[in-house]
Amino acid sequence: MSGLVDACVVYRRSGAIALTYPETTPEQVVFDFLDKLGIEEVQGHELSESALLAPWAAPLWEPLVHLVLRHLAKSFLLPAVPRNLLTLKNALSFFRAGLRSLSHRQLDVAMLDASAVGVSLVQKDFSTASSTMFLLRLSEMIEEQARDHSKTELIQSLLKVTERVWCVESGRGDGIAAAEVLVDAHEIVEGDIVVIRTGSSIPVDGVVVKGEAEVNQATLTGEPLPVVRSIGDDVFAGTAVEEGELFVRVRARSEMSKLQSIISLVEQSESRKGSTQFRMERLASRFVPWNFLLAGVVALTTRSIEKVAASLTVDYSCALKLSGSIAVLAAMREAAQRGFTVKGSASFEAMAQADVIVFDKTGTLTNAQPRICEVMAFNGWERNEVLRLAACLEEHFPHPFARAVVNRAAEEHLDHRGLHADVHYIKTHGIVSAVSGKRTIIGSGHFVFEDEGVPANGMRSAVETAAGHASPLYLAVDGVLVGALCIDDPVKPHAINALSDLRALGFKRIIMLTGDNHHTAAFVARKLAISEFRANLLPEEKHAILEQLKAEGHTVVMVGDGINDSPALSVADVGIAMGDGAAIAREVADVTLADSDLFSLAALRRLSMYLLKRMDTSYRFTMVLNTALLALGISGIMPVSMSSLIHNGSTALISVAGTRPYLPS
């Protein structure tokens, strides 16, 4: 298959294989290859699950003390001959690693370490060879511990985020016809049936027992296109339903499913590297051949094996790679502890450099718990019937307005279960269902009157006048307007202060985009001192506005919470989803705010700026110190053992320093 396929990645958990192949490769050739594919070929292409295999790092002092005591015992208690033989034995592992790299035609750090140890042994300087190996292992141990510790704390922080899910009450046959209850995800056990509808995340691993839906599996496979899942198909925690409804029988405990999805996020953060981290790692890989070239020049000009050893003992690669990856893991961990999940360093970097921030209105700048302030009934309908039917349609959709309708019906003790058949969310602001065989719709004025063509008969202007700055939802049955619900959507109490902080942190433009009417949007914009806003927007119009901002050269942050915001979130340089909004928005977004606190945006901006500063400082420190060590070692001013000690010690120090908190607690 060489030359026909560019890349192959296996996603064991979801049972998927992603192939990248050039346009010149016929599809049938690829399909024929897949038909013949065996387990042996697949095993070499699986993504690493190192975070799962060792997510809980052991205390550092135990292996550290063991390594130090073993080195001291060998150095001071063993006679010279057995001590030298043990040094030769220990060197074999470095030589094997170097030969593996050489067999793959790679000039990497393993080759550099093997060469440094080998040069000391050629000089019969067993003491320097032993000290070099000890320092290399000590540095590697500290570096691995710092990385594992960062991953562990990140995973633990993400596990603390709670989720709720609709569960079908058991006790009636297969349970599918039973009542639905909203429970914490950790209460779900194997065998339970959960219901997931449009815009919601799948909280568990399981098998579909009823329904069909398009499922976005980007968090598992990185592939943006949804896949269709129906009866008998497997679904996985951390994915999201874009369109449809699924009844899923739980196959694994929710805690393990959640851990798996978090591990997928941590692993995929490696593919979301910003240009700063990517540049540091690219430089790290390129410096190793220059170390060998320098060693060759030193050998030709000085004829000194000791100076050659000095040029091989010090490298830039480890410190550059580690300082970037550990700093990013520490930033992701701290972000999780402060209530926001960030998917990689590219998001941090774009957040630090952004000059424009765009907000959706409802549930983002306004209160996440709006309330119904008035219910109107038309054409012979009763007020309670309007509220009851509206709650029935809205109850399973993750939007602040939907929650407001359902909560008001519950307060008035209106039973609304079982009225409708299938419910379909229409991405241009509305819901369509069938009640007693009649087409029933609810949504914005744009959706009901313009898209669906329901006659307003003068009632739309009357409703908007009565609503004032509240937002109206319209209800129609078989093409006749039967009611309207006015929803008071007050701004979040500290929103104006949060926006002031963002301006102080360098955002030059703050823009509000909303699908709500112009009157309501203008009222919110005035209260929050936002000079730029657009109203009555469709999702594709929000998307187009962000595309235009990026075309003008801006780095753009988009903050939203609904299904309608997903296209805009996906196109932004940084998409930020509110934690209590639609799951599909959270899946598409680069960042999720767990508690929907707008002050988290300022914290994220500061954290992002500090991360770039730390990475830049580590880069400069590594370049200056290691260049100085090379110069001192090659000139003979500093012995090889001392330059090795300082080099490896500084690498370990950078690794540990990278785990420090960024922001004051």
pLDDT per position as a tens digit, 299-337 = 888 887 778 877 877 777 767 777 777 788 788 888 877
Whole-prediction pTM value? 0.63
Reduced to 3 states, what is the DSSP secondary structure of residue 17?
strand
Judge whether 375 and 485 are in contact, CB under 8 Å. Answer: yes
CA angle 373, 374, 375 (to 5 degrees): 140
**Residue ranges per structural domain of the chain:** 7-47, 61-156+272-327+614-657, 164-200+205-251, 340-366+493-596, 371-488
**Where is average pLDDT lowest: 30-39, 136-145, 162-171?**
162-171
- How does residue 476 score in pLDDT terms, banded at 50, 70 and 90? very high
Q: What pLDDT was estimated at residue 481?
A: 93
* Least confident among 86-100, 116-130, 382-396: 116-130
Dihedral Cα 334, 650, 146, 13, nearest 10 deg? 100
Q: What is the pLDDT of residue 61?
A: 62
What pLDDT does 53 receive? 37
> According to the model, what pLDDT value does residue 260 have?
52
Which range, of 525-534, 621-630, 648-657, averages the lowest pLDDT? 648-657
Q: What percent of the chain has pLDDT over 90?
A: 14
pLDDT at 475: 93
pLDDT at position 424 over 70: no
533 vs 88: CA distance, rounded Å: 72
Categorize the per-residue pLDDT at 474 as very low, low, confident or very high, splitting at 50, 70 and 90. very high
Tallying the residues shown for the chain, one arrives at: 665
The whole-angstrom separation of Cα 471 and Cα 349 is 37
Residues 633-638 have a mean pLDDT of 86
CA distances from 541 to 428, 550, 567, 572 (A): 11, 14, 9, 14
Q: Distances from the Cα of 407 to the Cαs of 273, 386, 469, 486, 561, in angstroms?
A: 42, 14, 21, 14, 19
Distance CA 603, CA 665 (A): 11
Q: What is the pLDDT of residues 227-268, one digit of tens each?
A: 888 899 888 776 778 777 888 888 865 555 544 555 555 555
User: CATH top-level class for 164-200+205-251?
Assistant: mainly beta
Is residue 457 predicted with pLDDT exceeding 80? yes
The CATH code that applies to domain 340-366+493-596 is 3.40.50.1000
pLDDT of residue 339: 75
Sign of the Cα pseudo-torsion (143, 147, 150, 156, in order): negative
Token couple for 519: 């009157």
Residue with the bigger pLDDT between 640 and 509: it is: 509
What pLDDT is stored for residue 485 in this prediction?
Answer: 93
- Angle of CA points 218, 220, 225, to nearest 5°: 25
Distance CA 447, CA 451 (A): 5
Q: Are strands 424-426 and 430-435 parallel, antiparallel or unpaired?
A: antiparallel
Average pLDDT across the chain, whole number: 77
pLDDT at 588: 66
Q: Count of H helices and E strands in the chain?
A: 24, 22
Residue 550 pLDDT: 92
Q: Is the pLDDT of residue 103 over 90?
A: no
Least confident of 104-108, 341-345, 619-623, 630-634: 104-108
Choices 3.40.1110.10, 3.90.1150.10, 3.40.50.10090, 1.10.3720.10: CATH for 371-488: 3.40.1110.10
pLDDT for res 171? 38
Helices (H), 9-60: 27-35, 39-43, 50-53
| Confidence at residue 50, expressed as pLDDT on a 0 to 100 scale | 40
- Residue 366 pLDDT level (bands cut at 50, 70, 90): confident
Beta-carbon count within 10 A of 458 CB = 8
